[in-house]
Amino acid sequence: MTDSLCIALAQLNPTVGDIAGNLARARKARAGGAALGADLVVFSELFITGYPPEDLILKPSFQDAAEAAIADLAGDTANGGPTLLIGTPWRENGDLYNAAVLLAHGEIAARRYKYDLPNYGVFDEKRLFAAGPLPGPVSFRGMRLGVMVCEDMWAPDVAECLQETGAEILVIGNGSPFEADKRDERMNLAIARVVETGLPLIYVNQFGGQDELVFDGGSFVLAHDRTLCVQAPSWCEDLRATDWSRNGKGHWECESQLACTPSEPLDSIYQAIVLGLRDYVNKNGFPGVVLGLSGGIDSALSAVVAVDALGADRVRCLIMPSPYTSQGSIDDAEACATALGVRTDTVPIASAMEAYDSILDPLFEDREADVTEENIQARIRGMTVMAFSNKFGHMALTTGNKSEMSVGYATLYGDMCGGYSALKDVYKTMVYDLSRWRNTHHPERVYGPGQRVIPDNIITKAPSAELKPDQTDQDTLPPYDVLDDILESLIEREMAFDDIVERGYTADTVARVARMLYVAEYKRRQAPPGVKITRRSFGRDRRYPITNGYLGVK
């Protein structure tokens, strides 16, 4: 039995599927923990495979590789040094579990399986894993660890069982994706578990981007009296030692006081978007990104995010004016590119438009120009961006926002062309908020220049696709503050028609927005992935049918 321990929190950025790389990261963290004097190093959920592995986890060869990596890592502990508590898939009696394993003395000393498998939003774990039994504590150097895996903390059952069976410290390895305002929710749930059990709590969260999800880190330690003893920073990797001692009453207390200041809301959202793009590009091996720069606010913010994520030398911008593009928009696009230090190329598309007119005129039989010709412009631009992407290998970055994707205000095979969308889950009003915020802040861990990166005129002018003379978005859409509130009521809150009307909108406006939302489902099925920041992003969070006879409007 010991009366003092040093427990290191390994808040790291694994890559899904890179078992060899994740094993190397775990070994490096173990060496770092040893240098800090750690007795135990705690990792995040399914660290050895990366999280979430989705259906990759069902491949027997992948399961073999993960278990072999854990056996190798266990062997590292044979000659002393820190014990490891690490997340991995594990098979037992024909079932596959989401496990946390304790590696000590050259072997797997203990295993605990995730009890509460989430099956909502982006989570689909009940089809991947078997649920483990309610766990008992794990013995470690004469004390008893209450080991939990992520969702096990979100309800009282597991913590209560561990407390009743003698656990002394609750230890949770997490893969908890970022959402705006989720940090407070996590903390409140952790506090609830501490209040219910009277036990201190260690929470280790993953950091990094994985496809549409980002993980913000923000690991922490709560004392048995709910005091926040340790708060690791968000939005970066961190290996942090925490010192523990047994008091005169036999209870464990954290002696460390290492609380970092949490990020402000807009800072967190911006960091999430930057991180999501950076890890998507880097983990998939792209040399950089290319995007169309129109002089509008969406493409301007997308360009800023790209430069902040990757650096100006890895971002290329194409200015593609049509006969309807104002000189002001060209000037604004060039001013934004200059502020960011990115290379731009101007590719006028008038001749391509004329060629399509010549090709299609015999088919259209002198019909008047309409949205068809507008879409052709967008598709010419999309083809141009994709041609650059194919030739140079840069990933095409789309620039549309959540408001546009909600109501179908986007062109398939046009402005929707691309491999990733930084603003996919960002409403138009938030685009403005983030643009104004970035113009007055220089966030940490970005490659872009300081403040004033978006010309004021881009922020203040009326938004327009400029696909016909004197066009503005509000010709066909409600004002964005109205549109976004109705959309959020429909998407995030699933509110009834009458309840939305009672928020102060006309029935016709609400019905029109709802119809646009549901009719555009087929477009969203063909949209590129993008960073999730809201409670309910398009994709796995919201799985609506394309053929849908129920609109819920009057």
Among 317, 314, 313, 287, which residue's Cα sits nearest to residue 302?
317
What tokens were used for 182? Answer: 């989720």
**In contact, 517 and 491? CB cutoff 8 Å:** yes
Length of the chain: 554
Give the closest residue to 417 by CA, choosing from 488, 318, 346. 318
* 168 CA to centre of own chain: 33
Provide the 10 A C-beta neighbour count for residue 66: 23
CB proximity list for 95: less than 8 A, separation 6 or greater? 130
Catalytic status, residue 28:
no
List the strands of the sheet with 315-319, edge to edge.
343-346, 315-319, 289-292, 395-398, 420-421
Can you say whether the dihedral through the CA atoms of 327, 333, 339, 342 is positive or negative? Answer: negative
Strand order in the sheet with 228-231: 138-140, 143-149, 169-174, 201-205, 220-222, 228-231, 258-259
Active-site residue, 126 included: no
* 114: annotated active-site residue: yes
DSSP state, residue 153? G
Of 6, 114, 168, 374, catalytic? 114
Structure tokens at 151: 């969702």
Query: Are the C-beta atoms of residues 80 and 95 closer than 8 Å to each other?
Result: no
Which residues, in sequence order, are bridge partners of residue 5? 244
Q: Are 257 and 285 in contact (CB under 8 A)?
A: no
Spot the catalytic one: 45, 67, 125, 212: 45
Task: From the candidates 6, 150, 254, 336, give the one annotated as an active-site residue.
Answer: 150
Helix (H) or strand (E) run with residue 261 in it: none
Which residues are part of the catalytic machinery?
Answer: 45, 114, 150
